[in-house]
Amino acid sequence: MRHALPIMLAAALIAGGASARSAQPNIKGEAELAKLLDGRVAGKPVNCISTTNSQSSRIIDGTAVVYQSTGRTLYVNRPRIGADSLRNDDILVTKIWGSQLCSLDQVRLVDRTSRFPRSFVGLGEFVPYTKPKS
């Protein structure tokens, strides 16, 4: 029992270090996202987006998932959990209950080459970014 306490403390320190690293922004990912959103205006965050109006999705390394709608809007989702594990070469596997993707949904990340599940993210709110009319 005496040995359990030091092991638990070491595990807590390691976990604390991992969460501190994930709290730091991914500079390359943030720059890529800023370039993608250049000229767009952020709207009020929403909890769900329609999958019928969604054309595609794009992963920004370690930062966010961007969903392209059929209109002029991009929806940026910064996951609540697992954002640091996002890689632009992953495949997003999403189970959708109904016709909407919502902030409480989980998305599995699958390695494109091996097809093995790699990780998952817990989605956050979707922030719409639109281009102003000329």
Enter the pTM of the model: 0.79
User: Quick check: 131 and 39 in contact, CB under 8 A?
Assistant: yes
| pLDDT at res. 23 | 56
Phi, psi dihedrals of residue 53, rounded to the nearest 5°:
-100, 5
Phi, psi dihedrals of residue 114, rounded to the nearest 5°:
-85, -20
Domain boundary assignment for the chain: 4-130
The pLDDT profile of the chain, 134 residues, written as one tens digit per residue, is 444 444 444 444 444 444 444 457 789 999 999 999 999 999 999 999 998 888 899 999 999 999 999 888 999 999 999 999 999 999 999 988 888 999 989 899 999 999 999 999 999 999 999 998 87
Proportion of the chain in helix, strand, coil states, percent, rounded to 5 = 25, 35, 35
Q: Is the dihedral of CA 21, 23, 33, 70 positive or negative?
A: positive
